[in-house]
Amino acid sequence: MADWNEQNVRHLLSRAGFGAKPNDVKIFLRKGQLLTVATLVGQSPSKAMGPGVSDVDANSIAALREWWVRRMVKQNNRRLQEKMVLFWHDHFASQYSVVKNVKRMALQNRTFRELGLDSFHALVQAITRDGAMLLMLDGKDNRKNNLNENYGRELMELFVLGVADANGKPNYTQGDVQELARACTGFQVSATTDLGFLNPNRFDDGNKTLWAAQPNPDNPNNSPVTGNLGFEDEDGVPFPPTTNVVDILFAHRDSDNQLTMPRFIGRKLWEWFGYPNPSKTLVDEITSDFRANGFVIRDLLRSIFLHEEFYSSAAKTSTVKNPCEFSFGALRALEARTNFDSVHDGLDLMGMELFEPPTVNGWNQGLAWVSTGLFLSRWGIGQELAAGRDPKVFKLILKKLFDEDGTVEGVVDGLLARLGIADYVPAGARQALVDYMNDYPGTVDLTDETYVETKVRGVIALMLELPEFNIH
């Protein structure tokens, strides 16, 4: 078990949420690691849902985005829940520009909040009949004698199995895509409730076979499964009353004869919370309880947050913060005020327009967030936050951030600590920040409003541009 110190508390709160307020660190440090992790993963399901009407309306989608941004920034007790809503939004990527229905986007967002920490089986089942997803991947058009393969393909490729296993061996064939598409027929979206439902008259009720042909001779672990395969209906009743195709996908084995799905989703969650390209050994370790206890996501997250490797230097310095993590973390650490009207606009400029992931693959993570153009936008957002004097945009109350009776060095060290990077910024960079504070034509005086407005705001802007604040 890792040492439970301020650095590790900040790391956990940065990854399992959107950063920490100063008092958060003190609270969770006193709780200890086991109780802190139990508190984070133990959040109960929530049916909280943002505003939305069933039409294409710029004001409506803007209101939904503002509602979710506000929730992500302000949540304390449900910080991990909202972080997982963002993860699932990226994993089951749906675009408002395709769905063109704000209520359906809001309902999908609620589904992630309600089911996102619990049974992955239930979540996959729910997203299959989700109104937004049925539009996004053309599931509403998939019916007997007129197949549409889009959802069936992405269900295997992006959502449950992956194209290939950890050894690079393919997990399925084109024939499996076609058979799974047949099992996905029959879903429609209610114009009244905006929820998906299963129409038996559109369902292909013939026998279907998955894994009829092994993708390659080195992967002989999946016996063909034949039957009138389908899904549960909206009431949780199997239709047809035979094997649920989700069960078949979850039972798929890779070329090591290990369950494919746990390795796939375990790897993806580790990369979201830890670092890229984890070893098979590590993935198998963190998915042990997940496999043993019926594929409950909170079990997988608990294993990640209690694993020593999660607190390694690699896990703290290998991932670029996405725009939500960058901006929300700064807002929380600096205890800035905003009415949230402009926060999403900043996310958009930094490349993360909520409810509009660029493709069905979601957003490109890592260094893609700090390409030249996007990093300049990030720089601009940091400067705007540091300069904040308007609560309708951003407002920093500087007197809350430092001690007027202190020293310039104390201001720099205190701000670096607030931002969670005091342990990572090199001595030379720290000294450059001190030198900046001292480079002033008048008297360096922390009680002088002109000096404070110029230099304290300026040094905050510089800190938000540091590489150490942009990675975690």
Q: What is the DSSP letter of 308?
A: G
Instruction: Decide: residue 101, CB within 10 A, 0-12 exposed, 13-18 middle, 19+ buried.
Output: buried
pTM: 0.96
- Residue 54 pLDDT: 76
- Residue 414 pLDDT: 96
Strands 389-390 and 394-395: antiparallel
Strands 231-232 and 225-227: unpaired
Q: Kindly report, residue by residue over 266-303, the tens digit of the pLDDT.
A: 999 999 999 999 999 999 999 999 999 999 999 999 99
Pairwise CA distance, residues 53 & 323, whole Å: 27
Please give the full DSSP string across 443-466, using - where no structure is assigned: ---TT-HHHIIIIIHHHHHHHHHS
- Residue 412 pLDDT: 98
In 42-118, where does DSSP find H-type helix?
58-74, 79-91, 96-99, 102-115
- Short-list 315, 304, 401, 340, CA closest to 10: 315
Pairwise CA distance, residues 46 & 48, whole Å: 5
Pairwise CA distance, residues 115 & 106, whole Å: 14
Residue 230: CB atoms within 10 Å: 25
Q: With a cut of 50, list the residues of the chain below it in pLDDT.
A: none
Q: Kindly report, residue by residue over 48-70, the tens digit of the pLDDT.
A: 999 988 777 778 999 999 999 99
Pairwise CA distance, residues 231 & 185, whole Å: 9
Q: Given the structure tokens 């967030």, which residue do they identify?
A: 369
- Residue 147 pLDDT: 96
Q: Given the structure tokens 């649920």, which residue do they identify?
A: 244
Q: Kindly report, residue by residue over 312-326, the tens digit of the pLDDT.
A: 999 999 899 999 999
| Structure token pair of residue 41 | 């993963």
Pairwise CA distance, residues 178 & 181, whole Å: 5
- Residue 238 pLDDT: 64
- Short-list 271, 278, 472, 470, CA closest to 362: 271
Helix axes 297-306, 33-41, angle to 10 degrees: 160
- Residue 392 pLDDT: 84
The full set of domain ranges for the chain reads 6-250, 323-470
- Residue 239 pLDDT: 65
Q: Given the structure tokens 């999403």, which residue do they identify?
A: 344
Q: Look over the chain and give the mean of its residue pLDDT values, rounded to a whole number.
A: 94
Based on its alpha-carbon atoms, the radius of gyration of the chain, rounded to whole angstroms, reads 24
